[in-house]
Amino acid sequence: MPHRIHIISFDIPFPANYGGVIVVYYHLKKLAEKGVKVILHCFEYGDRHPQSILLDYCEAVYYYPRSRQLHHQLSTLPFIVKTRQNPSLLKRLLADDYPILMEGLHCAGFINHPALANRLKLLRMHNIEWQYYRNLAQLEPRWLHKLYLYLESQKLRHFEQKNITHANQILSLTALDAAYFGQWSDQVQLIGPFHAHEKVTSRLGRGSYILFHGKLSVEDNEKAALYLIEKVMPFTEAKLIVAGMNPSTALQATAAGQHNVELIANPSEGEMLELVRAAQINVLLSFQVAGIKLKLLNALFLGRHCLVNPTIVEGTELAPLCTIATDPSAFIQKIEMLWSQDFTTELMAKRKMVLQEKYSNEVAAKKTIQILDAGKK
């Protein structure tokens, strides 16, 4: 008999165009390819809507409206958890005895429900959520948003510590996170992030620009883009392309004021992939440690040289594949060095060895199925 599993996703996982949903989409896709029957539950809000393509990989797909009204802020539960506690979801989970995979702490609102006490429950932790929200608060300039993020961080910390032991298995994206969650549970599995790539397809030779890409409406990404535009690019003649979703007017204006910077707002998926492939250097910069950056894997599987700050690779096994810079002068120096270097077959071979051993969807899916096998015994 094939395995059947409920997967609860915090968002509709298609289009797979930002970090968290990329992990969910390619996980369920790979499980389906391995013969696992997936029953998908996802929350509809914002500009994301039901997608028929999900039925290509799932036995059934259920959508739940997510109310984000302000009164949910009064709950002792984290807002991101409370707004996903849908009674219809619980009813469907109780209709059978299949294992349940909760994608993110967001989806763990019923993890401690007495009726699910005997079920195999897997909790995928995309990062240490309370730390992520605390870091967002530190970056947030608007005082009301800052207050919300600090309060949410505290609620998430309390919810995590109170409820994480109700999971039979905690699935962690990085060794750093696995060590943290190991404080609360001895059932922690390191299963790397699922992603769009089956093999390394980087181009040899040289490109003609530097690329910084990401969801530009995210505070950390905007801060990183501004850092590069204002503190690095005035001191090099190389060209920087900044590409991503929903840049602010302030970021667009700053980019327009620098002669060797071009901003591409909301490129299509195909345009973004080509930008990554054709770049000479993919530069990745972050001011907070949070799981693993999917855009780093994207750049390593598709692109040439990767220039990063230490935060991007902390807790991963990817530092040997990157060039690392710690401050603006180091970024300038490393850009000058990499600008004239071909991407070679030797660099490609090293990259293939690490990525296909440590960050393979095939290996990660087998680990999930091994947990399901053990749960049947």
255-281 pLDDT, tens digit each: 999 999 999 999 988 999 999 999 999
Q: Give the confidence band of 139 by pLDDT, cuts at 50, 70, 90.
A: confident
Residues in CB range of 168: below 8 A, 6 or more apart: 120, 121, 122, 187, 375
Contacts by 116-124, CB closer than 8 A, 24 or more apart: 119/93, 120/168, 120/169, 120/372, 120/375, 121/166, 121/167, 121/168, 121/169, 122/167, 122/168, 122/169, 122/170, 122/171, 122/368, 122/371, 123/164, 123/167, 123/169, 123/170, 123/171, 124/23, 124/171, 124/191
Q: How large is the average pLDDT for residues 92-101?
A: 97
**pLDDT > 80? residue 377:** no
pLDDT digit string, tens, across residues 157-177: 999 999 999 999 999 988 889
pLDDT at 337: 96
For the segment(s) 4-195+360-376, the CATH number from 3.40.50.2000, 2.70.98.30, 3.40.50.970, 3.20.20.60 is 3.40.50.2000
Q: Where is average pLDDT lowest: 40-44, 140-144, 224-228, 331-335?
A: 140-144
pLDDT > 90 fraction of the chain, expressed in percent and rounded = 78
Instruction: Tell how far CA 303 is from the center of its chain.
Output: 18
Q: Give the confidence band of 291 by pLDDT, cuts at 50, 70, 90.
A: low
pTM, to two decimals: 0.88
Q: Bigger pLDDT: 1 or 360?
A: 360
Q: How large is the average pLDDT for residues 204-225?
A: 92
3-state secondary structure the chain: CCCEEEEEECCCCCCCCCHHHHHHHHHHHHHHHCCCEEEEEEEECCCCCCCHHHHHCCCEEEEEECCCCHHHHHCCCCHHHHCCCCHHHHHHHCCCCCCEEEECHHHCCCCCCHHHCCCCEEEEECCCHHHHHHHHHHHCCCHHHHHHHHHHHHHHHHHHHHHHHHCCEEEECCHHHHHHHCCCCCCEEECCCCCCCCCCCCCCECCCCEEEECCCCCHHHHHHHHHHHHHCHHHCCCCEEEEECCCCHHHHHHHHCCCCEEEEECCCHHHHHHHHHHCCEEEECCCCCCCCCHHHHHHHHHCCEEEECHHHHCCCCCHHHCEECCCHHHHHHHHHHHHCCCECHHHHHHHHHHHHHHCCHHHHHHHHHHHHHHHHC
pLDDT at 225: 96
Q: Which CATH superfamily, name and number, covers 210-357?
A: Glycogen Phosphorylase B; (3.40.50.2000)
Q: Where is average pLDDT lowest: 206-215, 269-278, 282-291?
A: 282-291
**pLDDT > 80? residue 73:** no
**pLDDT > 80? residue 70:** no
Domain ranges of the chain: 4-195+360-376, 210-357
User: Angle, nearest 10°, between helix axes 19-33 and 294-302?
Assistant: 70
pLDDT at 274: 96
Q: Bigger pLDDT: 143 or 92?
A: 92
Q: What whole-number distance in Å separates Cα of residue 186 and Cα of residue 169?
A: 9
**pLDDT > 90? residue 345:** yes
Tokens of 228: 């590069």
pLDDT at 21: 92
Please state, in angstroms and as integers, the Cα–Cα distance from residue 342 to each residue in 205, 207, 269, following that order.
5, 9, 26
Q: How large is the average pLDDT for residues 349-362?
A: 91
pLDDT at 243: 96
**pLDDT > 70? residue 71:** no
